[in-house]
Amino acid sequence: IYLAARGREVMIFPGSTLFNKGPQWIVAAEMVKTSKLFARTVAKIDPEWLEALGGRLCKSSYSNPHWEKNRGEVRAFEQVSLYGLVIIPRRSVAYSPIVPDEAHRIFVRSALVEGEVKKEFAFLSHNQGLIEQVSGMEDKVRRRGMLASEEDLASFYSQRLPGISDIRSLESEIRKRGGDNFLNMKEEDVLLSCPDGKELALYPDETAMGFGTFKFVYRFAPGKPDDGITIKVPSSLAPQISPEHLDWIVPGLFREKITALIKGLPKPYRKQLVPVSSTVEVILSEMKRTNEPLVSALGTFIYKRFGVDIPASQWPVDQIPEHLQMRVSLTDHTGRELRSGRDPSILQEGMQQKNAQKGESDLFEKAKRKWEKTGISSWNFGALAESIPLTNDLFVYPGLEPGEKGVNIRLYRDRNTALSEHRKGVKTLFLIHFRKELNFVKKGLILPRTLVKAADYFGGVGAVEKAVYESLTNRLFRLDLRDPESFLRHAAVNGSALLQESRVLLEIAERVVEAYFQTRQAIHGIERANRNNRPALDLCARLRKELDALVPRDFLERYDPDRLIHLPRYLKAMEMRAERGSYDMEKEQKKSAAIAPFTEALRRNIQELSSRWTAEKRETLEAFFWMVEEFKVSLFAQELKTPFPVSEKRLEKKLRELERMI
């Protein structure tokens, strides 16, 4: 069955030699209608002949006019039919001769406004720069309406290029006018309204930290993964950015972020800060920038200014809009993104990418061949830089590494690893430098024989003597020194004090070991004397745990000398508590109830301690720890005195300070 002109259905006559042969197109000399409409005297024909044969009888229609970048002109698809039969279904043709006005509009919109041209034009680069500048302002302040509309931009070109709809005509017009300056836009052609200069200054394009300068990318695209502000961080420079600084480096976010944080607080805190807008104004005008995370600084300021004590855990940090949370984009040395996200911990993973790119590995290996040395026994290699640039965005970090024969200069990809190893290497150089003096010091580090039994709790006399030596040398020599002058200056200042320092530290260690032994023996004696007194036995069990937690085997490594000197007093207080508590359990229980909330808070915070805690919070936790110990002395052994006043009120204040931090 064939479709004939004017929509008729036709069948080849059965007597024809083409019957059941089924060519795609046929021509018939006659049509005969009997039981059906039959085509007789038929022949096969190529439809491509029909357009030329049909001539003016052929009809054309056009669809999908569009800009073709490669051809540099507006094209459309033509369909040709003859007597209602489609003989050419889809043919690409130039659209300008067909509908010139529409072709011009498409050319202006697609080629000029959208910049879809294969060849570079100076005026387009200039205009795109202006448009991007204004669009960047909109992304920064997150407000549309500054950039002229596409209709306005198209009108600019249409007025200057009437009737032009392809690249050839554009180039001809530019040659005729002696250049393309007439197509250069001015700021007033692009900018409808300009934000205040002070407002724009709150959104910097880049920030400098450590050895690098890091660029910001602003995007106003709600719901998109990159909505908000992205900081571009080469993975090799990631350790140089402190996560807590991310809250401070773009001041333009402060108002909205602080408002969102306050509005997201639980009602008991939020209602004390209303009206929120007035509170935010006070915060913005009076709160100073610090090295703390924004939430910690905010909690401290609000407590001092408004008297509202807000624990850090109550701030809705994870619930504020994503565009208010800095997005970090880790890149390799070529600028290619490796990973991105809004969790600041991504910075700690920066150097875990292993820099698998071949080019980067090649640079690192080349630098190692140039800089690394082995078998160094004195500081005869000049100053050691903190970092060495391999490219603009790729750094390695030199450091001294303890070796079999002295120290080695090594390059590290990770700054923190380099610093840790370098401190060990500097200590090794000092050990070589003071070899004779330290041998003499070692000979003097001998615990009294009376402490042999007490030292067994710490691994024996030899282990304690070795721990004293390690504590002494770590404290004096495990330093980040980078040049021979600093090394020799430190050696000159501390060399003569080695023997005296070692004796002081040994004496402190002796007192701690002896006090530990006495306290342990006292608790053991109380247990034997109270075998049938369950409350007394429970008290002794608790104190035994506290004893081992306060003075672990590595106490010399764990505590500084200025804290070690207090341990015997704490241990004596523990001994007195055991003795008095076993005789007067009611008084013990009352005092235990007073200290319990603070020991529980201490336990909870130590359990929650993580790498994401700031240095300030760690220091505050340590201070709280020692305050708790002093409070125990004031409760259970007042006659031993405390070096500073301590009370429940002061502990509560310090605890609130700790809990305001993150």
Q: Is the pLDDT of residue 59 over 90?
A: yes
Model confidence at 243, pLDDT cuts 50, 70, 90, reads: confident
Q: Is the pLDDT of residue 53 over 60?
A: yes
- pLDDT (tens digit, 9 = 90+) per residue, 112-153? 999 999 999 999 999 999 999 999 999 999 988 899 999 999
Contact 355, 364 (CB under 8 A): yes
Q: Is the pLDDT of residue 352 over 80?
A: no
Report the pLDDT value the prediction gives residue 333, as an integer from 0 to 100.
Answer: 76
Q: Lowest mean pLDDT of 106-110, 303-307, 609-613, name the range.
A: 609-613
Contact 387, 397 (CB under 8 A): yes
E strand segments, 138-223: 206-209, 212-219
Q: Is the pLDDT of residue 575 over 90?
A: yes
- pLDDT (tens digit, 9 = 90+) per residue, 635-660? 999 999 999 999 999 999 999 999 99
Report the pLDDT value the prediction gives residue 359, as an integer from 0 to 100.
Answer: 57
Q: How far apart are CA 288 and CA 267, in angstroms?
A: 26
Q: Is the pLDDT of residue 355 over 50?
A: no
Directed axis angle between helix 415-433 and helix 484-495, to 10°? 50
Tell me what the mean pLDDT of segment 422-447 comes to.
95
Q: How far apart are CA 376 and CA 409, in angstroms?
A: 8
Give which of 562, 545, 541, 547 is closest to 516, Cα–Cα: 547
Q: Lowest mean pLDDT of 170-174, 216-220, 344-348, name the range.
A: 344-348
Model confidence at 235, pLDDT cuts 50, 70, 90, reads: confident
Q: Is the pLDDT of residue 318 over 90?
A: no
Q: Is the pLDDT of residue 94 over 50?
A: yes
Q: Is the pLDDT of residue 477 over 70?
A: yes
**Cis amide prior to 275 (ω within 30 degrees):** yes
DSSP SS3 for 561: helix
Report the pLDDT value the prediction gives residue 356, as an integer from 0 to 100.
Answer: 43
Tell me what the mean pLDDT of segment 63-91 comes to.
94
Report the pLDDT value the prediction gives residue 350, as an integer from 0 to 100.
Answer: 54
Q: Is the pLDDT of residue 345 over 50?
A: yes
Q: How far apart are CA 348 and CA 339, in angstroms?
A: 12
- pLDDT (tens digit, 9 = 90+) per residue, 410-427? 999 888 889 999 999 999
Q: How far apart are CA 533 and CA 543, in angstroms?
A: 16
Work out the percent of the chain whose per-residue pLDDT is above 70: 98
Report the pLDDT value the prediction gives residue 456, as an integer from 0 to 100.
Answer: 96
Tokens of 418: 């380099």
Tell me what the mean pLDDT of segment 561-573 comes to.
96
Contact 101, 141 (CB under 8 A): no
Report the pLDDT value the prediction gives residue 581, as an integer from 0 to 100.
Answer: 94
Average pLDDT over the chain reads 92
Q: Is the pLDDT of residue 428 over 90?
A: yes
Q: How far apart are CA 72 and CA 87, in angstroms?
A: 28
- pLDDT (tens digit, 9 = 90+) per residue, 370-421? 999 999 999 999 999 998 988 877 788 999 999 988 999 999 988 888 999 9
Tokens of 363: 């640079």
Report the pLDDT value the prediction gives residue 390, as an integer from 0 to 100.
Answer: 85
Q: Is the pLDDT of residue 354 over 70?
A: no
Q: How far apart are CA 390 and CA 411, in angstroms?
A: 12
